[in-house]
């Protein structure tokens, strides 16, 4: 009913739209179940149960169900929202929504995330940094006077966590003003290599008309129609019975009836539900082409379609080593 009325916070509407459409994926449901099973129990080399961190459980799901599962925003939902996909967006706590929101560009600005030291150590991140430091030990050439040696290869403390998320170590001088520090970070992002990464991991723009609330309403109407045996009379009756009387349905059409908008029915004929179903399925095909098949939707997804179709066949292996 929230989505029929358009009741989603403005700054969260795009995230809510992607989240709800991702919940339509049977493969993502299976990946989440696999993730939770791995987190609950995992067998060591001697068959003993050992704990597993969410990062390894997520990667295990990627290997089993296809590389497209590891692309944003799916990886963010699976990795940082344990309630996905069982809860709908408005059921999530503020903490759960914020955990996902930090990976999206929204009006709501959150502090840059920092992983605590204990977790970094437990995940082996510090060991990886140390290993990279050992590998980056500079070799100083012995050159004759007047000759110029090869430049030393400088390896910066930037370590990929997964997909678009990296661990980075900066030198922060807190004697500088906030404005100056923000400008320095902006200048760092403008470096050629970082501009390439920004372009590479840019969130996709789904090529369908309408805004997030429109797509959420279409999905909600399709779900209502689907769950009530494709009976539009039952769907309309349910919507009318459970509506929020003080509010009209989202994008209610003025002038089509003398009934006040806050009492007007959700639809006047079955074709409205069928059109909503078509719009929702079209959006799904562009949002998750690997599962819902849209051969023209790979632009902007780094060739996701061509790769994901090859990887979408679920592995027949019944177990997977961490």
Measured in whole angstroms, the distance separating CA 245 from the mean position of its chain's CA atoms is 34
**Res 134: pLDDT:** 86
pTM comes to 0.66
pLDDT in tens, 214-255: 999 999 999 999 999 999 999 999 999 999 877 899 987 765
**In the predicted model, what is the mean pLDDT of the chain?**
80
Token pair, residue 295, equals 């051969």
Question: Which bin fits 272, alpha (ψ -120 to 50), beta or left (φ > 0)?
Answer: alpha
205 has pLDDT over 70: no
**Res 275: pLDDT:** 94
**Res 108: pLDDT:** 64
102 has pLDDT over 80: no
According to DSSP, the β-strands at 158-162 and 165-168 are antiparallel
30 has pLDDT over 90: yes
Please give the backbone phi and psi of residue 162, each rounded to the nearest 5 degrees, phi first. Answer: -165, 140
- Reported confidence tier of residue 313, pLDDT bands at 50, 70, 90: very low
- Reported confidence tier of residue 90, pLDDT bands at 50, 70, 90: very high
Q: Are 264 and 251 in contact (CB under 8 A)?
A: no
Among 26-40, 199-213, 287-301, top mean pLDDT goes to 26-40
Q: Domain coordinates of the chain in residue numbers?
A: 24-87+288-322
303 has pLDDT over 50: no
Among 34-48, 122-136, 153-167, top mean pLDDT goes to 122-136
209 has pLDDT over 60: no
pLDDT in tens, 273-298: 999 999 999 999 988 988 997 444 33
Q: Estimate the share of the chain in helix, then strand, then coil, as percent rounded to the nearest 5.
A: 50, 5, 45
**Res 33: pLDDT:** 93
Q: Could you tell me which residue, 259 or 150, shows the higher pLDDT?
A: 259
Q: How far apart are CA 15 and CA 2, in angstroms?
A: 15
pLDDT in tens, 133-177: 888 777 777 777 777 767 667 788 988 876 677 889 999 999 999
Q: Are 240 and 265 in contact (CB under 8 A)?
A: yes
Average pLDDT of the segment spanning 292-318: 42
Cα dihedral value 284, 290, 293, 296, nearest 10: 90
């Amino acid at each position: 009913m929230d989505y029929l009325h358009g009741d989603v916070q403005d700054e969260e509407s795009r995230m809510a739209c992607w989240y709800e459409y991702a919940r339509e994926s049977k493969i993502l449901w299976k990946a989440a179940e696999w993730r939770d099973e791995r987190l609950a129990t995992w067998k060591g080399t001697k068959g003993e149960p050992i704990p597993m961190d969410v990062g390894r459980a997520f990667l295990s799901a990627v290997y089993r169900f296809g590389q497209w599962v590891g692309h944003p925003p799916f990886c963010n939902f699976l990795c940082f929202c344990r309630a996905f996909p069982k809860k709908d967006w408005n059921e999530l706590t503020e903490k759960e929504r914020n955990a996902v929101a930090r990976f999206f560009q929204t009006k709501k600005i959150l502090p840059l995330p920092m992983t605590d030291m204990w977790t970094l150590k437990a995940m082996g991140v510090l060991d990886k940094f140390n290993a990279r430091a050992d590998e980056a030990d500079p070799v100083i050439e012995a050159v004759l006077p007047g000759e110029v040696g090869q430049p030393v290869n400088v390896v910066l403390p930037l370590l990929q966590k997964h997909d678009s998320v990296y661990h980075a170590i900066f030198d922060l001088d807190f004697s500088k003003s906030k404005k100056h520090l923000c400008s320095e970070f902006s200048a760092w992002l403008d470096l050629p290599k970082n501009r390439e990464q920004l372009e590479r991991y840019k969130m996709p723009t789904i090529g369908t008309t309408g805004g997030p609330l429109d797509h959420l309403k279409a999905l909600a109407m399709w779900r209502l129609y689907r769950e009530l045996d494709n009976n539009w009379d039952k769907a309309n009756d349910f919507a009318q019975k459970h509506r929020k009387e003080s509010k009209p349905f989202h994008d209610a059409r003025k002038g089509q009836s003398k009934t006040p908008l806050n009492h007007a029915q959700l639809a006047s004929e079955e074709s409205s539900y069928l059109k909503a179903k078509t719009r929702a399925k079209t959006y799904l095909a562009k949002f998750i082409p690997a599962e819902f098949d849209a051969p023209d939707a790979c632009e902007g997804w780094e060739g996701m379609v061509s790769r994901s179709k090859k990887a979408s066949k679920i592995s027949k292996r019944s177990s997977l080593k961490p």
